[in-house]
Chain A
Amino acid sequence: KAGVTQTPRYLIKTRGQQVTLSCSPISGHRSVSWYQQTPGQGLQFLFEYFSETQRNKGNFPGRFSGRQFSNSRSEMNVSTLELGDSALYLCASSSLTGGGYNSPLHFGNGTRLTVT
């Protein structure tokens, strides 16, 4: 079974631009969660989608948004990029929502976003 696939692996953008990141979950998984990883803040939850509905959102500004398609693939968008948005963005999928012990998260290798 193929794992979680994130594209692209690396991105370089300029301040003020916008960016879209893509995530394909493990086949059969309906939940997709997004996390931001930075050296200073560590891993922080962005949002989770389940069956095309956003179920929870972390403490990020409205410039960060996402969506999920009927095939469970997900995209996240960051508008008006700031230098502080430079980070590794990780996507994770699970078979059920909740991320509990009966439905642990499986992570992709991430997209490294650099904002200059």
Chain B
Amino acid sequence: AQSVTQLDSHVSVSEGTPVLLRCNYSSSYSPSLFWYVQHPNKGLQLLLKYTSAATLVKGINGFEAEFKKSETSFHLTKPSAHMSDAAEYFCVVSDHSSNTGKLIFGQGTTLQVKP
């Protein structure tokens, strides 16, 4: 069975400093991995997706994630945080066993950006 673990429930950074949100996954298959972001009172927006074509994935708003099979990790990074990045971030794996629109979400990491 697939699962994801987000290692930090809350991360606080200063504006202009790097962001690192950590995610480990467990999957019997070659995983489909995603990062989604949720701003307050909004739905989820897709930041990036791992397609197996490249281990370093570039997403929107300057975010990147690196797939490391040996470490079963898919950490999200951004070189320089902006105030508008404050939100909740979800690491997500697609449930291949059911081959349906079932995503398995991590518990989320709240990113706080201080001025």
Task: Tell me the A residues contacting B by CB distance below 8 Å.
Answer: 4, 6, 31-33, 35, 42-43, 45, 48, 50, 55-56, 58, 90, 92, 94, 97-102, 104-110, 112
Contact = CB atoms under 8 A, between A and B. Distances in A.
Contacts, number: 80
Interface residues of B, number: 28
- Sorted nearest first, the 10 A-B pairs with minimum C-beta distance are A56-B100, A33-B101, A107-B43, A48-B101, A99-B101, A43-B105, A107-B44, A109-B43, A101-B32, A100-B32
B91 to A, nearest CB: 11
Interface of B: 32, 34, 36, 41-46, 49-52, 90, 94-96, 98-108
B32 A106 contact: no
Interface of A is mostly: strand
B101 A92 contact: yes
B59 to A, nearest CB: 11
A33 B101 CA distance: 6
Contact of B94 (A90, A99, A106, A109): A99
A45 B97 CA distance: 14
A4 to B, nearest CB: 7
B90 A43 contact: yes
Contacts of B32: 99-101
Contact of B51 (A97, A98, A101, A108): A101
Given A104-B49, A107-B44, A110-B43, A98 B90 contact: no
Contacts of A45: 95, 102-104
Most A CB atoms within 10 A — which of B36, B42, B101, B104?
B101
